[in-house]
Structure 1
Amino acid sequence: MITWLEFEKPVAELDKRITELRSAAAGDEVDIGTELERLETKSADLLASTYKALTPWQKTQVARHPKRPHFLDYVEHAFDEFIPLGGDRLYGEDEAILGGFAKLDGRKVMLIGHEKGNDTESRLRHNFGMGKPEGYRKAIRLMEMASRFGLPVVTLVDTSGAFPGVEAEERGQAEAIARSTEACLALDVPMVSVIVGEGGSGGAVALASAERVLMLEHAVYSVISPEGCASILWRTADKAPDAAEAMRITAQQLKKLGVIDRIVKEPVGGAHRNPEKAAQALGKAISEELDALSDVAPDELCRLREERFLLLGE
């Protein structure tokens, strides 16, 4: 069952009419084929035109859609032989950030990413994708392991931000995020990062400081959530749509600014409408980027990362 967003209501109403027409004609000999085809075409066209003209705030809603695919969905549909690795060897396991060995088109990689969960129980277990210090320290451990084995690193970023709780601060959240960012920049193997949903604040940057940064078409990437920005600037979260527009958080805006390198197309109506197709497109894009980086020398990889971040804002 589709969960409709507010701006999708005209499409939802059309789909409701289609369902009612099918139901009313069930068992009758009345030919509704022509009318049904007309309505279905109109619905598909309306959905496509709606998603071609999304505002930054609407894209934020799509990026947060409860049915949008997350890390484990991409593991299932785009990668093979995933072997999860747990724990940071210092404190414990953090299920908001998952990682392990995987294969992509026959190539061995170290795969790391945020997992938000897909129902109440799993969302609580994965802490809604908000990593704690032990999660980022696990990511560091896995990146160092990838370097030892000469494996490229692939990260799938999808978090509203790192966990802001007191216990996380007590265990050194800021230091863990900084160390994870440092580990990305110092890698001597290729690294490709993809913003697949929300890319929020330092919690995202800690896994996205790569030489190649991609974004799904309707993902968002920002230093703070639109609601957080609006609360600071206007003292009300009601201004979130204005904040989203001002912050330049969409893949299309960030590509123009040079913050990201490539936009990966999503199925019409967003990745949540066809997770398998979205995962296949993602896997293909990552493979192409890794192919391009496969012959780059380790010192050149570090230089590319340094250069890409120093040039931001020019």
Structure 2
Amino acid sequence: METQSSESAAVYASVTSKRDRARAKQSLAAYGFMTPWMLGMMFLTLGSVLFSVYLAFTNSNLLSPAHWNGIENFKQIFTADPNFVASIRATLLYVLVSVPCRLVFALLVAVLLNRNVRGLGIYRAVYYLPSLVGGSVGVSIGWRELFSPNGTINLLLKHVGINGPSWLANPVGAFFVLVLLSVWQFGSEMVIFLAGLKQIPQTYYEAASIDGASKFQQFFKVTLPMLSPIVFFNLVMGTINAFMVFTQVYVITGGGPMNSTLFYVLYVYQQAFTYFHMGYAAALSIILLFMIAACTGLLFLTSKYWVKYEN
């Protein structure tokens, strides 16, 4: 009996050892795959953030050694910088206008594409294509030429007897052009909405139809409540991305006219690489981080009143 017991213990120990070695190999493989991301996170992302925090309290200009100046950059931002207020005003207006318009348009197109019609895959690909080339310089240049005084838009208006305005020469027109470009790039939100629409059980619509609900009522009583978590996700991501828009405004308007499109990230870029006020730009970046965090936190706080989960 003792011999059988010792043999069983030896077999158990051998099996356990092999299992532990297999788990160790799996763990090493997992850490190996994670290593590039962890190194990038530590040295590129976290390191850059910490260095920016340090620069925010200096008068660095990248051309001479930085000198510590405490909170002087933040004092100047909040007390003696009118462009700071102008950039916040332009950015908040852009966020409040472009994000809802983009989400509404993406949802409407997703509802239209949520049907079994011939060539549906082609339609989805065509509508998603602008998101793939979204923030590129080439698209921004093309958009700028499209709305130039002799561009395609004004030529089309001229054919119907309308003298097109100088879109980029007045604040309202320039802002409209940037918002329209943002709405045009609705493909990512549309795909996410489509995925959400596919998950809504058809029994809900059948029950609503039996109760006499119209298609319009079904949309607001069934579709929107069931999609509210996805609307919330798209709203958060769209808000963050709208705060950080840069390429489009840099290429199309350059912040003009009269600083009407001087968005915050463009102003940070100007301070850093046009005027070489790197410490000042770092302070502006820290403020942007807190603004985005505050807006995101506000969305999360209000979500409990309108986001409905099936459970």
TM-score, length-scaled by structure 1: 0.27
Bigger helix share: 2
Between structure 1 and structure 2, the one with the greater Rg is: 2
RCO comparison, higher one (Cα < 8 Å, 6+): 2
Bigger strand share: 1
TM-score, length-scaled by structure 2: 0.27
